[in-house]
Structure 1
Amino acid sequence: MIKWSKPKIKEFQTTLLDWYDSNRRDLPWRRDHEPYHIWVSEIMLQQTQVNTVIPYYQRFMMVFPTVEKLANAPEEQLLKAWEGLGYYSRVRNMQRAAQQLLNDDDGQWPHTKAELQELVGIGPYTAGAIASIAFNQPEPAVDGNAFRVFSQLLEIDADITKPQTRSLFEEAIRKVMPTDRPGDFNQAIMDLGSSYMTAKNSDNEHSPVRKFNQAYLDGRLDEFPVRSKRLKPVDKQYFALVIETPSGFLFQQRAGNELLAKLWVFPLVDADQLKADQPELNTTTIIKAIEDQFASETEIQTELQFIDIPIVNHTFTHQKWHVTLLYANLQKQPDLSHFSGKVVPVEEFSTLAWPTVQKKLWQAFKKRQIQLF
């Protein structure tokens, strides 16, 4: 697969690292080689743009400046610090890994990729990034940028969605990676993939490594990387119950085995399940069915109404939610002894760990038309 001569590999390394030395991005986690900083940033950067991550990273470090602080944090504080980044299992795994470091390794970070992958939630990419940047280990960090960059540079036509392809790329990258600056090499590839060799609107004509880009030289850029089509997210229909009381709104915490586990949302009713259980339901009767179901589960009586708000849509990796809001105003404070949640005053909303979809629901509700029907 690697057809480059040793002089060409050396020229590529020099060209790439010279460009990186002059153009590297000034990112807060690059100001030292602390593995904790690298780890947190890399977990945050999964599925999230750099500019979005920077303020999250800075706030997170203020709250959890050390592995010890992270390991001992209350879950509510942990989820609140992560709020808006999504994929909350990541920060839960980070806390478990921090606890591993303290309990099993006396707070000392392992230096090798294999040992790093023994920590909860650290996969091959993150382990490669930490090993190379923090400990100068010659390990590739193969993420979407690396797949894109090297598939074009070397015209690698393996499907990057298949798990076995990662090892193929790692083997190829090791052959062109310098042993003296592996961390800078990996970070240069990250910067290259987010500037000249982006997934959209790339500028290969002015790329510092254009002379090494075989796909560019052959006019085949649109063929790389090879990626099979992703499955479309499954559509899910929900009703969100916006139930106002004299002292605030009803919220429930999602169960630990559900999507958005342990985050706070308006009570949600699975519309698909409701209709499957009662196929005769229609627009007129569905509210009564929801009221009855909610009352049977919580012993709270409501008079729900449709409100003039568009359906709120939110896409997760494997699901796309379509949420219809229903509203009820309880004139008396309800008995919450059978309700698996709590009443939260508006002024205390900021204390709850909310998923992005809940933020969308609240924003949509605030913009509602005054007239209810």
Structure 2
Amino acid sequence: MPQVVLPTASGGTERHATGEPADFSGLHGRPFGRVAYAAAHVVADPMADCDPWLTPAIDWERTIAFRRHLWRLGFGVAEAMDTAQRGMGLDWAQSRELIRLSVAAAREEGAMVASGCGTDHLAPADARSVEDVIAAYEQQAGFIEGEGGRLILMASRALAARATSPADYERVYGRILSQVREPVILHWLGDMFDPALAGYWGRADLDEAMEVCLGIIHAHADKIDGIKISLLDDAKEVAMRRRLPAGVRMYTGDDFNYPALIEGDGQGYSHALLGIFDAIAPAAAAALAALEAGDRERYHAILGPTVPLSRHVFKAPTRFYKTGVVFMAYLNGHQDHFTMIGGQESTRSTLHLAELFRLADRAGLLADPAMAAARMADVLRVRGVAQ
């Protein structure tokens, strides 16, 4: 099998021989039994003449091709979310083009896409009032619905900065939800993903914040498809799931505990809207199909080995997880380079990438081990690790 010299935590190196890739193809194309969105990354254009930190360039063709890959495995695409570096390289102008292209491609594929609607074109310091936040949400919602898209109502940094109480959140969400054409997905993103969102819903205590959020959901249940929570706390997700109104879905955003949350218990289960599904899509599709077929043993056999990889990719500082997601796309041939918009490929260490490679290999997620090993070696040479 192919080999690559990887750095070790002790300061040395070791020769790593890759294993065989897992074969998930026999389960692909079968129904899931859960609504499953993969939050998808964007592919940078490394040949563009630009200053990446200031004017990042996107390879639109490869970006949309990756979405077609996800759709053909059976996933919906959660578009222009934090996995696409929204607020960390992807601005609203680029998001508009991404959403326009993605919605059009989904229509061609007969596939499912929902797009992030936020307020990121409004700098928190420029929000003079809650009304400014409402207007910002309305602008993005109007564009997305005008393209024929569905909304994921993202958490707002401007609202977190301007709100003085839970009543401000109730006012903003109430106004937006009263106007939407179709039920939306709410997104509660924890401050481990974005420190600017600390104290969201007007409460620093998560249990108190959940009460505020649940109050909004119950007041507007007919306008809410579901809620994705990204708190990396499975107990809080289950507790909230059991209190949702009938017909409102829980979408797990827990990239640490997703197998058990999706499987569920005697009182219900979570659907999925996960960034890690971008990186492990073939395995996740096969596992969801096995679960729907009633083969829970196979479900866990496939999905269980992906958890150590996911926990590594999403380790603190969690907001830098996008680097691992894009690195997996590079290793598996979905793009020809390890370059990210905003220069975000620099946010993880060489040791972090080496351990990601080991864990992906252990889970059978390197589709072409020879190509993955060669690409890993190329990155390591640039970072000073001789092969």
> Normalising by the residue count of structure 1, what TM-score does the alignment of the two structures yield?
0.29
**Larger RCO (alpha carbons 8 Å, 6+ apart):** 2
Larger Rg: 1
> Normalising by the residue count of structure 2, what TM-score does the alignment of the two structures yield?
0.28
